Amino acid sequence: ALGALWAGKFSKKTRKVFSTFIYLSLLFSLVFPCSIYSCRLFKVIFHVLPGVGLGPVPILYASLLILLPTAFRHGFIFILSCALYRQVTGESSSAVGKVYFYETVGTIIGGLIITYLLLPHFNSFQIAGGILLLNASVCLLLLSFERKSV
């Protein structure tokens, strides 16, 4: 919600929504493997012995610290996606609903691909690296289109 709130204010003030969207998408992809690593490193940093469970409060704080950078960027990117959809189509009233629908469809398809094709064959870092490479390729392709149109 914080990322969405900040992006709402930002997207009204800037004209560079497209390039901001691309750079934040790249940053999101870079932070994703770091979040996975942070999950694995958390018990080591706080000297939690193997086999010892943590209480709900430490788990809450760990989740907040680990997921905040990723979730903030995700909320920001969603609002920028709505602004881009509005710019491209000219539809202002249905932009949020349509972007949310497309995001949900992508989440369902991505969940099926992850579950049945990727997880049986790759570890989480390999999957995150593949997502990073795919997203970086798409972002660089989009950047080349933006530079040609300017």
pLDDT per residue of the chain (150 residues) written in tens, 0 to 9: 677 777 777 767 777 888 888 988 999 888 889 989 998 888 888 888 888 888 899 889 889 989 888 888 888 888 889 888 988 898 888 888 999 999 999 999 999 999 999 999 999 999 999 999 999 999 999 888 776 654
Angle at 138 between CA 39 and CA 73, to 5 degrees: 40
Q: The whole model's pTM is what?
A: 0.80
Nearest to 7 by CA among 102, 71, 51: 71
Give the start-to-end residue ranges of the domains of the chain. Answer: 2-149
